[in-house]
Amino acid sequence: MTELPDSGKRGFYLLGTTVAVAVTVVFATVGDGVEVPAATGLRRLAVEVGHVAVWALLSVAFLIAAVRGRWDGPAARVAVAAGITYALFLLAVLL
């Protein structure tokens, strides 16, 4: 497979940023449909803001990649933080 030129990579990452921001806005305004009435304290916080935080972090990761023109350390670290946040969200929902 051929490598995308920098402009193509930036466009791809900007598209990813746009999609992730759109999902963040939907989850922040409309909601994500996840309800755990028994959740209290930190668990409730994780359920309430988990999805929004995950998508906001993914937005930042894609934006970093778009600015730098490549997916490397900084973008990858933010994406890993999004993955950890999602794991915590799932634990809060399922336990």
- Average pLDDT across each block of 10 residues of the chain; the chain has 95 residues. List them in order: 68 96 96 90 93 97 95 97 97 93
Answer whether residue 62 is part of any domain: yes
pLDDT at 52: 97
Q: Calculate the CA dihedral of residues 53, 59, 64, 66 and round it to 10 degrees.
A: 170
Cα–Cα distance between 60 and 28 in angstroms, integer?
16
The answer as to whether 67 is a domain residue is: yes
Q: How many domains does the chain have?
A: 1
- pLDDT, residue 4, reads 58
Count CA atoms within 13 Å of residue 44 on its CB side.
Answer: 5
Q: By residue range, what is the domain housing residue 57?
A: 6-94
Has residue 90 been placed in a domain? Answer: yes
SS3 of residue 59 by DSSP: helix
Does residue 1 sit within a domain?
Answer: no
CB atoms closer than 10 angstroms to residue 55: 24
- The pTM score is 0.89
